[in-house]
Structure 1
Amino acid sequence: MTELEKGPTGRRRGRGARERILSASQHLFREQGINQTGMDQLCAAAQVSKRTAYQHFAGKDELIAEYLQQVDPTVMSSIFDSQELTAREKLLAVFDMPPTNPMCPYISAAVELHDPDHPAALYAKEYKETVTAKLANAAREAGAANPEELGEQLALLLDGAAARTRVVNSNAFPTAGTIAVMLIDSAIAAGPSNDNHRETVSR
């Protein structure tokens, strides 16, 4: 028989409390911020008691870290692991964001938490470094000159677009994508494969 629990509304609920808490955190943290969201509000939204919440998470800090890990657990695998996109297309696909996309949750968490050693801040840093590394790998596959530099440039452009979209309430990703095209094509044109081609022609 399924184990039941009684939430703050007094209604009896089945298993899935952890999933409901994470779902509530994804909504509330992104809509109103981490610091403005208390455990009481999270528990009410998830329809669980605080006792139940603390059975699943040691505290709010642990919940924040888990929330970030749930946002994009495979780090854009639909783009970087795609067998249908060319390397150049992968680099551009990261800028194909919906107009309603809010500010990057990893940036938001790092800004709100202040403490660089907070588990969530450490995870946000790790996530950003992973994205940059994947961009650099795709840039290398595309034949770009200095792929690490291009990866860093595109990561910076991506974060800037996310922040500007949130601040001005207008989608900045298409403009960022246009800039990305120029950076990518310039780096590919200066890449080793084109250097070899020019050297052959000059002979």
Structure 2
Amino acid sequence: MTELEKGPTGRRRGRGARERILSASQQLFRDQGINQTGMDQLCAAAQVSKRTAYQHFAGKDELIAEYLQQVDPTVMSSIFDSPDLSPREKLLAVFDMRPTNPMCPYISAAVELHDPEHPASQYASEYKKAVAAKLANAAREAGAADPEQLGEQLALLLDGAAARTRVLNANAFPTAAAIAVTLIDSAIAAASRDHGHRETVSR
């Protein structure tokens, strides 16, 4: 590949083709879906030739997998790694995110691909498990009675809010956040009661 080459519009393009392809995939996959987006359209949107696209990505499957890895590289870490938030605040902060597209891209990809062995489906599965694990860790730090269970409950609540928002075209995250408050405070209170009971028994 030369440093400069002509794209589909005939204009000479510099470096950054890979970034343009990923940027185009984020917009097109989000707006019209993975299956409805072809490589010709992606190349036109990114202003690169198909030859250039296939030099950066072996095929559409590889591009889809990398697209998912680019979707949420910092948002979750900015919440869970924040020194300014208490563990309880971290658990609630995930419900304050306002995605451009309310439908979770990981769920969308898994539904469209229909293949659990697809690299993108596997990444989506790993991502969902990682989010639940981070929620469980924060729940543990917050003093929840069963942090793993609470983590799974909150992860399910997040996915449900995203799907309901998409289907009804109405923001379901405030309602989900209110439910999360009840779940979190109940789990913390249960741990406190259990701790008090053990202290009483040990005396």
Q: Give the TM-score of the pair, scaled to structure 1.
A: 0.94
**Code of the aligned partner of 1:42:** L
Q: Are the aligned partners of 2:30 and 2:101 in contact in 1 as well (CA < 8 Å)?
A: no
TM-aligned CA deviation for residue 75 of structure 1: 6.4
Aligned to 1:51: 51
For the residue of structure 1 that corresponds to 2:127, the secondary structure is helix
**Deviation above 2 Å: which 4+ runs of structure 1?**
97-102, 193-203
TM-aligned CA deviation for residue 40 of structure 1: 0.3
TM-aligned CA deviation for residue 112 of structure 1: 0.3
Within a 5 Å distance, the mapping from 1:74-85 to structure 2 comes to: 74=74, 76-85=76-85
For the residue of structure 2 that corresponds to 1:190, the secondary structure is helix
Aligned to 2:147: 147
For structure 2, the residue ranges without an aligned partner over 5 or more in a row are none
Q: Classify 1:152/1:89 alpha carbon distance in 2 versus 1 (closer, same or farther; 3 Å).
A: same
Aligned to 1:197: 196
Q: Are the aligned partners of 1:75 and 1:127 in contact in 2 as well (CA < 8 Å)?
A: no
Within a 5 Å distance, the mapping from 1:165-180 to structure 2 comes to: 165-180=165-180
Q: Are the aligned partners of 2:144 and 2:184 in contact in 1 as well (CA < 8 Å)?
A: yes
After the TM superposition, which of the residue ranges 66-75 and 137-146 deviates more from structure 2?
66-75
Aligned to 2:117: 117
Distance in 2, matches of 1:99 and 1:135, equals 19
Within a 5 Å distance, the mapping from 1:28-39 to structure 2 comes to: 28-39=28-39
Q: Are the aligned partners of 1:99 and 1:171 in contact in 2 as well (CA < 8 Å)?
A: no
TM-aligned CA deviation for residue 197 of structure 1: 3.2
For structure 1, the residue ranges without an aligned partner over 5 or more in a row are none
Give CA-to-partner distance per residue, 1:107-165, whole Å, 9 cap, x none: 00000000000000000000000000000000000000111000000000000001111
Within a 5 Å distance, the mapping from 1:88-127 to structure 2 comes to: 88-98=88-98, 100-127=100-127
For the residue of structure 1 that corresponds to 2:96, the secondary structure is coil
Q: CA RMSD in A?
A: 1.7
Distance in 2, matches of 1:165 and 1:172, equals 5
Distance in 2, matches of 1:198 and 1:85, equals 29
**Code of the aligned partner of 1:163:** A
TM-aligned CA deviation for residue 99 of structure 1: 7.2
TM-aligned CA deviation for residue 73 of structure 1: 2.4
Q: Are the aligned partners of 2:162 and 2:173 in contact in 1 as well (CA < 8 Å)?
A: yes
Give CA-to-partner distance per residue, 1:69-90, whole Å, 9 cap, x none: 0011256100000001000000
Distance in 1, matches of 2:70 and 2:90, equals 22
Aligned to 1:138: 138
**Code of the aligned partner of 2:113:** L
Distance in 1, matches of 2:168 and 2:63, equals 29
Distance in 1, matches of 2:23 and 2:9, equals 18
Q: Classify 1:12/1:73 alpha carbon distance in 2 versus 1 (closer, same or farther; 3 Å).
A: same
